[in-house]
Amino acid sequence: MAKKRKTELDIDPTEESVAPPAAEEAPPPEDGEEAKGEEEEAPAASSNAKKIIIIVVGALLLLGGIGTGVYFYLEKKAQEEAQALKEQEELERRMEELMKKIPKIPTYKMARFFIPLQEKEGEEKFLTLIVTLELNSDKVVKELNKLLASLREAIYFHLNTKSSADLSGEKKMRRIEEDLKIIINRNLQTGHAKRVYFLEYIIQ
């Protein structure tokens, strides 16, 4: 019997199975490319840091400028106020010296008068009056205090006989001043009234 020949379909058991080829791995980046990437990142970080420093320095300079301006403004204002206070004190000192040189004038103020006037029938008018006397001596003040009631009565009855027409106008007011001075001085012994002033003179 003839031996069977090996056919191409027969498999040699001694032959090992061949594994499929593995996928190719990407080659690692060369050292030059890595260095290039690091160099590109470094300038960007440095630029940001410089910007931050510039902003901070600018803000500090701005705040410093504002602070300096405010300081000089407040300093100037304080100097102006001190100068004004000094001038005011100097003015007050001069006024005090001047007042010492001016002789003190004795005066006497009477309480307000409220006097009805003689008007036509059916009309009513009143004189409201405050009298101040300029005296020639301080001694007269004590005497006026003693005679005050009788002096007020004499003034009241003198003006009560007048009408509003008798008392109106600058010239008539001056005349009333003279009349009252005569009435007051007629009763004084220690001195006299130099002038009569009206602090209030109202006809209504």
Q: Could you tell me which residue, 49 or 33, shows the higher pLDDT?
A: 49
pLDDT at site 25: 53
Helix%, strand%, coil% for the chain, nearest 5: 55, 15, 30
In terms of Cβ atoms closer than 10 Å to its own Cβ (0-12, 13-18, 19+), residue 135 is: buried
Q: Does residue 86 sit within a domain?
A: yes
Residues 6+ apart with CB under 8 A from 178: 196
Domain identity same for 161 and 97: no
Q: Does residue 180 sit within a domain?
A: yes
Q: Does residue 71 sit within a domain?
A: yes
Domain identity same for 91 and 122: no
Q: Does residue 6 sit within a domain?
A: no
Average pLDDT, the chain: 79
**pLDDT tens digits for range 124-149:** 899 999 999 999 998 999 999 999 99
Instruction: Write out the residue range of the structural domain in which residue 138 sits.
Output: 107-203
pTM: 0.51
Q: Could you tell me which residue, 159 or 60, shows the higher pLDDT?
A: 159
**pLDDT tens digits for range 68-127:** 777 778 888 888 888 888 888 888 888 777 767 767 889 999 999 999 998 888 888 999
Residues 6+ apart with CB under 8 A from 65: none
* Token pair belonging to 155: 């003034």
